[in-house]
Amino acid sequence: EGVGPQEYTLIKLKVLEPYPQKFSKLKGKNIYLVAATLRPETMFGQTNIWVRPDMKYIAHELENGDVFVCTRRSARNMAYQGFTKEDGKINVLVELVGQDIMGVALSGPLTSYKKIYTLPMLTIKEDKGTGVVTSVPSDAPDDFAALRDLKNKQPFREKYGIKDEMVLPYDPVPIIDVPEFGNLCAVTVCEQMKIQSQNDRDQLQEAKEKVYLKGFYEGIMTKKMVDAGEAVIYFEPEKQVMSRSAD
Ligand code: A2H
């Protein structure tokens, strides 16, 4: 782990109408789930967005009136990076858990699938990024393993209220060709290593190290999305100071 802040790109996923019940009082506002990624150049390959069913999220208002859905922790960081009306303050509009927004339809920048859905991932960490994770199963082993779990296990879909059409039509999209692994890196490595599910944590860590190509023409893609208003840059401090009590 390095010192100093980690830079992520926050991908803005627009919530499509009709809004879920939790967002009924946000009618007329632009609502975005925001996903922190290190690989913005892979967004063409998004097949879904991950949220953790039992984790707490908030919908908070930005300076321009738009609404971001993310963890309270990341919203506080945003408030110190000029995202909100008043520096250091967040305006919480709705409090929710991941299950409240499960199966919600979204549209994302550069995504080949015009409509994608929020699906459950049980391994999302509370202390990293925004708690919302974009899923690129072609290039991220975690995403491939979790999507395959949902595709293969009907009871798992049912448990979280996920309909077949939110999962079954969505296959990994070839985007980046890596000589050793072909154009579906994560799929190749998960199959070679015989990874069974998203719970094979040690093997998935090893798989990630094998396919992870940090900084791959990410600069150009990031700039394009930021210029188009489809993504924003967000920094996460190395150590969180959690002593602040007021929002
Ligand atoms: B990456 P680092 Cl294609 N919990 O985005 C678990 N994982 C999280 C998270 C959270 N709260 N927040 C972000 N992430 C994931 C794309 C991607 C990512 C690809 C390949 C590798 C990769 C699509 N998923 O990450 O600890 C996000 O997944 C490899 C590590 O800061 C984010 O980038 O290094 C990455 O982990 C950030 O992890």
Pick 120 or 179 by higher pLDDT. 120
- Please tell me the residue having the least CA distance from ligand 1 atom 22: 140
Q: What pLDDT is recorded for position 217? A: 44
**Is 241 within a domain?**
no
CB-hemisphere CA count at 13 Å for 50? 26
Average pLDDT of the segment spanning 222-233 = 80
Model confidence at 149: pLDDT above 70 = yes
- What per-residue confidence (pLDDT) applies to 178? 75
Q: Establish if 174 belongs to a structural domain.
A: yes
- Position 214 scores a pLDDT of 45
- Give yes or no for residue 243 having a pLDDT over 70: no
pLDDT classification of 176: cutoffs 50, 70, 90: confident
**ipTM for this model:** 0.98
CATH number at residue 55: 3.90.740.10
- Residue 158 — pLDDT band, cuts 50, 70, 90? very high
191 belongs to a structural domain? yes
Q: Greater confidence, 3 or 237? A: 237
Q: Per-residue pLDDT tens for 7-31?
A: 999 999 999 999 999 999 999 999 9
Overall domain count for the chain: 1
Output the average pLDDT for the chain: 90
Predicted local distance difference test score (pLDDT) of residue 174: 86
242 is a domain residue = no
Take atom 6 of ligand 1 and give the residue whose Cα is closest: 124
Residue 37 C-alpha to ligand 1 middle, in angstroms?
Answer: 6
Contact 109, 228 (CB under 8 A): yes
At residue 218, the pLDDT reads: 47
2 found inside a domain: no
105 alpha carbon – ligand 1 mean position (Å): 21
The answer as to whether 246 is a domain residue is no
Taking the CA of residue 126 as reference, the ligand 1 atom at the shortest distance is 11
Residue 241's pLDDT band, with cuts at 50, 70 and 90, is low
| Full domain range(s) for residue 199 | 7-236
Question: Quick check: is 210 in a domain?
Answer: yes
1 lies in a domain? no
Residue 130 in tokens: 């925004």
Q: Which of 15-29, 166-180, 201-215 has the lowest mean pLDDT?
A: 201-215
Q: Which of 37, 57, 127 to mutate to test the pocket of ligand 1 (most atoms within 8 A of CB)?
A: 37
For residues 205 and 90, the answer to whether their CB atoms sit within 8 Å is no
Nearest CA to ligand 1 atom 34: 38
